[in-house]
């Protein structure tokens, strides 16, 4: 019980630097990127099972740790669509637990990632439009069940995706 209270305090201490970092990243965006803070939601049933932020790791029970994206609770096989137009820069197995993953570079310092997919429909180098099929929800990599882990990166730093949707 003491661990949980200490962990919660540690998580709270980590929030202020995260907010400052997010503000600095937002300020560093090009004017074009600042104007287009409106990505589409990548699944048709956007129920967020786990938001961006500090949490206890569901696989190991340790933490707090920063959960770097939004987890959408969707059934395995649910289509996953591109949040915006861009170029697929990675399509394959993620080395650090993301399972089958696609990364799209949207230009202007913006990228999105789509993790734990069961199927990859587009190879690296493909140009995609907003809403194009990328793959299907799965439970590959470090996962507790079928879901999509969706991330937004600004200048290669992971930020809370919610304000971008």
Residue 110 near residue 161 (C-beta atoms within 8 A): no
- Concatenate the DSSP letters of all residues of 126-149 into one string: -EE-TT-EEEEEB--SS-SSSBEE
Q: Which domain holds residue 143?
A: 2-164
Judged against a pLDDT cut of 80, whether residue 115 lies above it is answered with yes
Tens of pLDDT, residues 135-155: 999 999 989 899 999 999 999
Answer yes or no: is pLDDT of 85 > 60: yes
Q: Kindly report the backbone phi and psi dihedral angles of residue 13, in degrees, each rounded to the nearest multiple of 5, phi listed first.
A: -65, -30
Residue 8 has pLDDT above 50, yes or no: no
Interval 67-79 mean pLDDT: 95
- Write down the pTM of the prediction: 0.80
CA atoms within 13 A on the CB side of 27: 6
Give the CATH number, domain containing residue 27.
2.70.70.10
Number of domains in the chain: 1
Residue with tokens 């630097």: 17
SS3 for 87? strand
CA separation for the pair 118, 99 (Å, rounded): 9
């Amino acid at each position: 019980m003491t661990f949980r209270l200490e962990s919660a305090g540690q998580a709270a201490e980590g929030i202020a630097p995260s907010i400052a970092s997010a503000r600095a990243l937002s300020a560093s965006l090009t004017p074009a990127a600042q104007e287009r803070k409106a990505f589409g939601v990548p699944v048709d049933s956007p129920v967020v099972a786990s938001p961006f932020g500090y949490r206890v790791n569901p696989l190991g029970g340790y933490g707090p740790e920063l959960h770097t994206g939004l987890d959408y609770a969707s059934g395995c096989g649910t289509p996953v669509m591109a949040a915006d137009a861009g170029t697929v820069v990675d399509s394959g197995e993620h080395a650090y637990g993301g399972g089958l993953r696609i990364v799209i570079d949207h230009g202007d310092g913006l990228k999105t990632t789509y993790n734990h997919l069961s199927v990859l429909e587009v190879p690296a180098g493909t140009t995609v439009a907003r809403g194009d099929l990328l793959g299907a929800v799965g439970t590959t990599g470090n996962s507790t069940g079928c879901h999509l882990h969706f991330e937004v990166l600004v200048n290669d730093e992971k930020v809370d995706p919610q304000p971008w949707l």
